[in-house]
Structure 1
Amino acid sequence: MPTYTYECKSCNNIVEKIFEINVSPNTIFCEFCGKEMEKIIVPGASFILKGGGWPGKDSKEKNYRQERNNELSDVMNQKREAGESVTKISDLKKVK
Protein backbone atom coordinates (compact mmCIF):
# COMPACT_ATOMS: atom_id res chain seq x y z
CA MET A 1 0.00 0.00 0.00
CA PRO A 2 1.33 3.44 -0.88
CA THR A 3 2.31 5.93 1.78
CA TYR A 4 1.34 9.56 1.29
CA THR A 5 2.94 12.48 3.12
CA TYR A 6 0.93 15.56 4.00
CA GLU A 7 2.04 18.92 5.40
CA CYS A 8 -0.09 21.54 7.12
CA LYS A 9 0.72 24.97 5.68
CA SER A 10 -0.61 26.62 8.82
CA CYS A 11 1.35 24.85 11.60
CA ASN A 12 3.93 22.88 9.50
CA ASN A 13 2.76 19.56 10.96
CA ILE A 14 3.83 16.62 8.75
CA VAL A 15 2.04 13.26 8.79
CA GLU A 16 2.25 10.08 6.76
CA LYS A 17 -0.92 8.24 5.85
CA ILE A 18 -1.27 4.79 4.31
CA PHE A 19 -4.17 4.16 1.94
CA GLU A 20 -5.14 1.37 -0.39
CA ILE A 21 -4.11 1.95 -4.01
CA ASN A 22 -7.66 2.57 -5.18
CA VAL A 23 -8.36 5.06 -2.33
CA SER A 24 -6.72 8.47 -2.20
CA PRO A 25 -8.69 11.02 -0.14
CA ASN A 26 -9.17 14.48 -1.57
CA THR A 27 -8.78 16.29 1.75
CA ILE A 28 -6.90 15.55 4.93
CA PHE A 29 -7.21 17.86 7.92
CA CYS A 30 -4.47 18.62 10.44
CA GLU A 31 -4.99 16.91 13.79
CA PHE A 32 -3.47 19.91 15.62
CA CYS A 33 -5.00 23.01 14.04
CA GLY A 34 -7.82 21.46 11.97
CA LYS A 35 -6.81 23.19 8.73
CA GLU A 36 -6.57 21.41 5.37
CA MET A 37 -3.25 19.66 4.67
CA GLU A 38 -1.43 19.52 1.34
CA LYS A 39 0.05 16.35 -0.16
CA ILE A 40 3.81 16.70 -0.61
CA ILE A 41 6.18 14.67 -2.75
CA VAL A 42 8.91 12.89 -0.82
CA PRO A 43 11.84 11.30 -2.67
CA GLY A 44 11.89 7.51 -2.53
CA ALA A 45 14.16 5.68 -0.16
CA SER A 46 17.40 4.33 -1.53
CA PHE A 47 18.45 0.78 -0.80
CA ILE A 48 21.25 -1.62 -1.64
CA LEU A 49 20.61 -5.11 -2.94
CA LYS A 50 22.84 -7.52 -1.03
CA GLY A 51 23.49 -11.13 -1.85
CA GLY A 52 23.32 -12.91 -5.18
CA GLY A 53 20.53 -13.37 -7.65
CA TRP A 54 19.76 -9.71 -8.35
CA PRO A 55 19.68 -8.59 -12.00
CA GLY A 56 22.44 -6.16 -12.79
CA LYS A 57 24.64 -7.08 -9.84
CA ASP A 58 25.34 -10.62 -11.01
CA SER A 59 25.77 -9.57 -14.62
CA LYS A 60 28.37 -6.92 -13.65
CA GLU A 61 30.31 -9.50 -11.66
CA LYS A 62 30.03 -12.00 -14.49
CA ASN A 63 31.25 -9.37 -17.00
CA TYR A 64 34.20 -8.52 -14.74
CA ARG A 65 35.18 -12.19 -14.49
CA GLN A 66 34.86 -12.63 -18.26
CA GLU A 67 37.01 -9.54 -18.93
CA ARG A 68 39.61 -10.73 -16.41
CA ASN A 69 39.71 -14.20 -18.02
CA ASN A 70 40.12 -12.61 -21.45
CA GLU A 71 43.01 -10.48 -20.17
CA LEU A 72 44.72 -13.52 -18.65
CA SER A 73 44.24 -15.47 -21.89
CA ASP A 74 45.77 -12.62 -23.90
CA VAL A 75 48.77 -12.41 -21.57
CA MET A 76 49.20 -16.20 -21.69
CA ASN A 77 49.16 -16.17 -25.49
CA GLN A 78 51.69 -13.30 -25.62
CA LYS A 79 54.03 -15.14 -23.27
CA ARG A 80 53.75 -18.35 -25.29
CA GLU A 81 54.48 -16.44 -28.51
CA ALA A 82 57.54 -14.95 -26.83
CA GLY A 83 58.73 -18.47 -25.97
CA GLU A 84 58.17 -18.18 -22.23
CA SER A 85 56.51 -20.94 -20.23
CA VAL A 86 53.39 -20.31 -18.20
CA THR A 87 52.85 -22.78 -15.38
CA LYS A 88 51.08 -20.76 -12.67
CA ILE A 89 49.03 -17.61 -12.27
CA SER A 90 51.95 -15.56 -11.00
CA ASP A 91 53.57 -16.13 -14.41
CA LEU A 92 50.70 -14.20 -15.98
CA LYS A 93 51.90 -10.73 -15.03
CA LYS A 94 51.06 -8.35 -17.82
CA VAL A 95 53.55 -8.21 -20.66
CA LYS A 96 54.88 -4.71 -21.26
Structure 2
Amino acid sequence: WKLYFQVKKVKNVSKDVFGSTMGRVHMPKQNLSNLPTRNMKGLKRTVAEKKVERAQKVAIRRKKENPNLIPLGGSNTPGPSSSAIAKLNTSRPSILLNTSS
Protein backbone atom coordinates (compact mmCIF):
# COMPACT_ATOMS: atom_id res chain seq x y z
CA TRP A 1 0.00 0.00 0.00
CA LYS A 2 3.01 2.27 0.38
CA LEU A 3 3.68 2.06 -3.37
CA TYR A 4 0.25 3.52 -4.00
CA PHE A 5 1.20 6.82 -2.35
CA GLN A 6 4.64 7.15 -3.96
CA VAL A 7 4.94 9.70 -6.75
CA LYS A 8 5.68 8.11 -10.13
CA LYS A 9 8.96 9.25 -11.70
CA VAL A 10 8.42 11.47 -14.75
CA LYS A 11 10.77 10.56 -17.60
CA ASN A 12 11.82 12.56 -20.66
CA VAL A 13 9.98 15.70 -19.56
CA SER A 14 11.71 18.99 -18.88
CA LYS A 15 10.76 22.63 -18.42
CA ASP A 16 12.40 25.53 -20.20
CA VAL A 17 13.15 29.04 -18.89
CA PHE A 18 9.61 30.26 -19.53
CA GLY A 19 8.02 27.37 -17.63
CA SER A 20 6.58 25.49 -20.60
CA THR A 21 6.84 21.71 -20.48
CA MET A 22 8.95 20.00 -23.12
CA GLY A 23 8.69 16.26 -23.76
CA ARG A 24 11.09 14.01 -25.63
CA VAL A 25 9.77 11.20 -27.81
CA HIS A 26 12.05 8.33 -28.84
CA MET A 27 11.37 6.68 -32.19
CA PRO A 28 13.41 4.09 -34.08
CA LYS A 29 15.13 5.08 -37.31
CA GLN A 30 12.93 4.77 -40.36
CA ASN A 31 14.13 3.32 -43.62
CA LEU A 32 12.69 5.77 -46.15
CA SER A 33 13.24 3.46 -49.11
CA ASN A 34 10.77 0.92 -47.69
CA LEU A 35 8.01 3.34 -46.71
CA PRO A 36 4.78 2.82 -48.66
CA THR A 37 3.92 5.84 -50.76
CA ARG A 38 1.04 6.67 -53.02
CA ASN A 39 1.36 5.71 -56.66
CA MET A 40 1.14 8.92 -58.63
CA LYS A 41 -0.05 8.90 -62.22
CA GLY A 42 2.49 11.56 -63.11
CA LEU A 43 5.40 9.28 -62.26
CA LYS A 44 4.28 6.32 -64.36
CA ARG A 45 6.49 5.24 -67.24
CA THR A 46 5.21 5.60 -70.77
CA VAL A 47 4.66 2.66 -73.09
CA ALA A 48 7.74 3.60 -75.14
CA GLU A 49 9.94 3.62 -72.03
CA LYS A 50 8.60 0.20 -71.03
CA LYS A 51 9.34 -1.20 -74.51
CA VAL A 52 12.91 0.11 -74.48
CA GLU A 53 13.54 -1.27 -71.00
CA ARG A 54 12.06 -4.65 -71.97
CA ALA A 55 14.18 -4.80 -75.15
CA GLN A 56 17.33 -4.11 -73.13
CA LYS A 57 16.47 -6.86 -70.63
CA VAL A 58 15.83 -9.35 -73.45
CA ALA A 59 19.11 -8.42 -75.17
CA ILE A 60 21.06 -8.92 -71.94
CA ARG A 61 19.36 -12.27 -71.33
CA ARG A 62 20.09 -13.47 -74.88
CA LYS A 63 23.69 -12.33 -74.61
CA LYS A 64 24.09 -14.38 -71.40
CA GLU A 65 22.52 -17.45 -73.03
CA ASN A 66 24.60 -17.31 -76.21
CA PRO A 67 27.57 -14.90 -76.06
CA ASN A 68 28.66 -15.75 -79.64
CA LEU A 69 25.41 -14.52 -81.14
CA ILE A 70 25.57 -11.08 -82.78
CA PRO A 71 22.24 -9.29 -82.29
CA LEU A 72 20.85 -7.64 -85.40
CA GLY A 73 19.59 -4.37 -84.01
CA GLY A 74 17.73 -1.43 -85.40
CA SER A 75 18.53 2.16 -84.64
CA ASN A 76 17.27 2.07 -81.05
CA THR A 77 18.26 -1.46 -79.99
CA PRO A 78 21.67 -2.40 -78.66
CA GLY A 79 23.99 -4.19 -81.05
CA PRO A 80 25.85 -3.49 -84.26
CA SER A 81 24.26 -1.30 -86.89
CA SER A 82 23.56 -2.47 -90.43
CA SER A 83 26.72 -0.75 -91.72
CA ALA A 84 28.81 -2.62 -89.15
CA ILE A 85 27.21 -5.90 -90.25
CA ALA A 86 27.95 -5.07 -93.89
CA LYS A 87 31.62 -4.51 -92.98
CA LEU A 88 31.65 -7.85 -91.16
CA ASN A 89 30.23 -9.61 -94.21
CA THR A 90 32.75 -8.04 -96.61
CA SER A 91 35.71 -8.85 -94.38
CA ARG A 92 34.90 -12.57 -94.39
CA PRO A 93 36.54 -14.61 -97.15
CA SER A 94 34.06 -15.77 -99.73
CA ILE A 95 34.13 -19.26 -101.20
CA LEU A 96 34.13 -19.44 -104.97
CA LEU A 97 32.71 -22.58 -106.49
CA ASN A 98 33.93 -23.71 -109.88
CA THR A 99 30.83 -25.00 -111.66
CA SER A 100 32.44 -25.62 -115.05
CA SER A 101 33.54 -29.19 -115.68
TM-score range, shorter chain: under 0.3
Task: Tell me which structure has the larger Cα radius of gyration.
Answer: 2
- What is the TM-score with the length of structure 1 in the denominator? 0.27
Superposition TM-score, scaled by structure 2 size: 0.26
Higher percent of residues as helix: 2
More strand by share: 1
Greater relative contact order (CA < 8 Å, ≥ 6 in sequence): 1
